[in-house]
Amino acid sequence: MPLISQEEIVYFEKAMYLPMVLIILERDRALFEQGSFKLKRPYVELVDGAIRKVQKELKETNIHMRKQHMKMLKGTGDDTFTEYVFYHGGYEDHRRYLNLRLRNQVEELLRIYLAMAHREI
């Protein structure tokens, strides 16, 4: 049996991925603002909606992790892998994530949050 349950790993991974998604969205928003688009507002509104969704989910994730005494630290990394250390229930779990997997997951989350924001416009 794993020392940290899969249900809790989901929260650790949200705490890992969602800040990356926010960084991308905030950079993209700045590019839309500075770009030479004829009509910037629809793009900015879409990205702003996605940012709000990600921020809300990240806040909920952080609250859950704090209540459950969960902690995550970014460990060492290289061009291929990035290590994260998860702490929960007296256990320490070292996990190495392929950087390509991190990138692909962030890209998928971007699609999801942009689609969610689009539905609300």
CB 94 within 8 A of CB 83: yes
Q: Residue 88: inside a domain, yes or no? A: no
Q: Residue 86: inside a domain, yes or no? A: no
Question: How many folded domains does the chain comprise?
Answer: 1
Taking alpha carbons only, the member of 8, 3, 15, 7 closest to residue 109 is 15
Q: Residue 12: inside a domain, yes or no? A: yes
Instruction: Give dist(CA 69, CA 89) in Å, integer.
Output: 8
Place of tokens 């839309």: 32
Q: Say what percent of the chain tops pLDDT 90.
A: 93
Place of tokens 């249900």: 7
How large is the average pLDDT for residues 45-70?
Answer: 98
Q: Residue 84: inside a domain, yes or no? A: no
Q: Provide the domain limits for residue 49.
A: 6-69+102-120
What pLDDT is stored for residue 115 in this prediction? 98
Residue 46 has pLDDT above 60, yes or no: yes
Read off the DSSP letter of residue 38: S
Q: Residue 16: inside a domain, yes or no? A: yes
